Amino acid sequence: MSKDYILGVFNDEATLVDAFEKVKEKGIQPVEVYTPYPIHEILEGMGKKTKITHAAFFFGLFAAIGILAFLTYAAVFSWPLNYGGKPFNAFPSFIVVTIVTTILCITLLTLFTFSARAKIFPGKVPEIVHDRATDDKFVMVIDKKSLGKKDSEIQAIIKEHGKIE
């Protein structure tokens, strides 16, 4: 990681949350917080909301419409077969195929969307902030440029609860 950041390294969740809240009270927003497991106070405090659920909903909607349109076209317009006295448009027979294929489309498209958004792809060199950032340490990354005159106050808060690297 470049030298434009301050890393606060903490041993447990309580000290991290306490330091995080004190840093937020000073008006400084940490760039990122790395933890071994999700911490609700940190997730809410960061204020970042995901829109991937909206994307997944629209992927499912368009996939279901597209699949039903394809099945209707294939069975009714392109190659209609009259067997056993069934009508050409046997819509109930399309439902199971539509549900299963829609789930597959949602899963794959959401995976690709997440990977593209997170810039995760094969061969990418990972940017490691701290060697034990998600093993057993809690790491808070703060941008030095955002500190301004509060640099010594923020460093004192971090040193009180953990250590600076």
Tens of pLDDT, residues 93-117: 889 999 999 999 999 999 999 999 8
The Cα 116–Cα 165 span in angstroms is 30
| pLDDT tens figures, 14-53 | 999 999 999 898 888 898 999 999 899 898 888 888 899 9
* CB contact at 8 A, 71 and 94: yes
User: Residue 4: its pLDDT value, please?
Assistant: 84
**pLDDT exceeds 60 at position 1:** no
| Top-level class of domain 5-49+127-164 | alpha beta
pLDDT at position 70 over 90: yes
- Range ranked top by mean pLDDT from 4-13, 56-65, 87-96: 56-65
What is the average pLDDT score of the chain?
87
Each domain of the chain, given as residue ranges in start order, spans 5-49+127-164, 52-117
- Contacting residues for 134 by C-beta, under 8 A, at least 6 apart: 34, 35, 36
* Residues contacting 69, CB < 8 A, separation 6+: none
- CA pair distance 80, 61, nearest whole angstrom: 26
